[in-house]
């Protein structure tokens, strides 16, 4: 188990909020980058928020600098970007760890990334961390739940606890819920 240090989170003001709170309880310094990060972190012990839109690379860069100044080099990152077709997921990966002290990046991905007809998607997502010696990638796919009533998405609570389980398991790929067998029409 990693010693608590600084964990940098994107998406922590939303469905990963319970995961961020749990990590702060464990003693991690939790920094958030999101559009509403500072208001989210207000009053949460051990957490700090730096406001930026991840579509705005310059604003995101400034938020990263401020987060690192606050928490030191992040030993862990948790990233939920709705799309990876942006500059900012790579900027985040580059900001993690320190020479000789690589960090884990838990990359949270939508279920489509693991669609059985598109085996290229997970490796494409992994390119975010490619060639970065300070960043060890762990992918976490948000799958589905199959209930007696039908197929549904994970709840925020299921996503947060699934991400915490993925962190504890530390496997290259974890799935929250299921993608195999693929439960929807193909």
Name the closest residue to ligand NAP (Cβ): 14
Nearer to ligand NAP, 36 or 101 (CB): 36
Number of shown-chain residues binding ligand NAP (CB under 6 A): 19
Q: Does 174 bind ligand NAP (CB under 6 A)?
A: no
User: 86-115 mask for ligand NAP (x: CB under 6 A)?
Assistant: ------------------------xx----
Interface stretch with ligand NAP, choices 21-29, 66-74, 96-104, 151-159 (CB under 6 A): 151-159
Q: Does 53 bind ligand NAP (CB under 6 A)?
A: yes
Nearer to ligand NAP, 68 or 121 (CB): 121
Tell which residue, 114, 120, 119, has the closest CA to residue 141: 114
Q: Does 142 bind ligand NAP (CB under 6 A)?
A: yes
Q: Does 36 bind ligand NAP (CB under 6 A)?
A: yes
Q: Does 35 bind ligand NAP (CB under 6 A)?
A: yes
Q: Does 161 bind ligand NAP (CB under 6 A)?
A: no
- 């948000």: which residue's tokens? 142
Tokens of 54: 């991840």
């Amino acid at each position: 188990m990693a010693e608590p240090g600084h964990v940098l989170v994107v998406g922590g003001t939303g469905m990963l909020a319970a995961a961020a709170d749990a990590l702060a309880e464990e003693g991690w310094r939790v920094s958030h980058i999101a559009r509403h990060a500072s208001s989210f972190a207000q009053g949460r012990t051990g957490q700090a928020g730096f406001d930026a839109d991840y579509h705005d690379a310059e604003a995101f860069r400034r938020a990263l600098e401020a987060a690192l100044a606050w928490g030191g080099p992040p030993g862990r990152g948790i990233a939920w970007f709705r799309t990876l077709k942006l500059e900012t997921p790579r900027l985040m990966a580059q900001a993690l760890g320190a020479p000789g002290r690589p960090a884990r990046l838990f990359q949270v991905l939508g279920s489509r990334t693991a669609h059985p007809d598109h085996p290229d998607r997970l490796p494409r997502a992994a390119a975010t961390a490619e060639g970065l010696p300070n960043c060890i990638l762990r992918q976490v796919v948000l799958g589905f739940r199959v209930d007696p009533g039908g197929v549904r998405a994970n709840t925020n609570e299921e996503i947060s606890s699934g991400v915490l389980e993925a962190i504890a398991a530390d496997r290259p790929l974890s799935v929250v819920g299921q993608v195999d067998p693929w439960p929807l029409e193909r």
